[in-house]
Amino acid sequence: MSVSCLCPDTALFLALGYMRLPELLAYWRICRLLGEAVAGDLHLWRRLAVERPLSGWLTDQVLLKLTARAEGTLRSLRLFGCLHESDAGLLRVVEHNPRVTEVLGGFRRVVVSSN
């Protein structure tokens, strides 16, 4: 009889999908194994929500680098309290991620149709 169980590291990798962006970035830097898991899993980067304190230093350039992790598969981007991103920066993100269906930035909401 075979008994399967989740090893702690397997459970941790599954938990990565439920973490907010600050935690993902922290795990990315904790150790090489976790960093590779975070950087290499496109699913973790498909839906991004940038909140405080990260929103205070987010620029168009940093936003483009973060969303590039999705390798063109970004679906949703929510920016809360971001003061330094521009419409041009958001447009670049959308151009690099043709599958994006929702962008929420500041007090403006942009929904990209798939037509």
Instruction: Answer for the pair 113, 87: CB distance below 8 angstroms, yes or no.
Output: no
- How many domains is the chain built from? 1
Instruction: Answer for the pair 45, 69: CB distance below 8 angstroms, yes or no.
Output: yes
* 69 located within any domain: yes
Reference 36, options 65, 69, 63; nearest CA is: 69
pTM value surpassing 0.85: no
* 70 located within any domain: yes
* 3 located within any domain: no
Checking if the pLDDT of 105 tops 50, the result is: yes
pLDDT level of residue 100 (50, 70, 90 thresholds): very high
Q: What's the whole-number average pLDDT of the chain?
A: 81
* 115 located within any domain: no
What residue spans of the chain are helical by DSSP H? 8-15, 21-30, 32-40, 60-68, 87-96
Instruction: Answer for the pair 35, 28: CB distance below 8 angstroms, yes or no.
Output: yes
Instruction: Answer for the pair 93, 100: CB distance below 8 angstroms, yes or no.
Output: yes
Residue 96 sits in which domain range? Answer: 8-110
Q: pLDDT per residue over 21-40, tens digit each?
A: 888 888 778 877 778 888 88
* 1 located within any domain: no
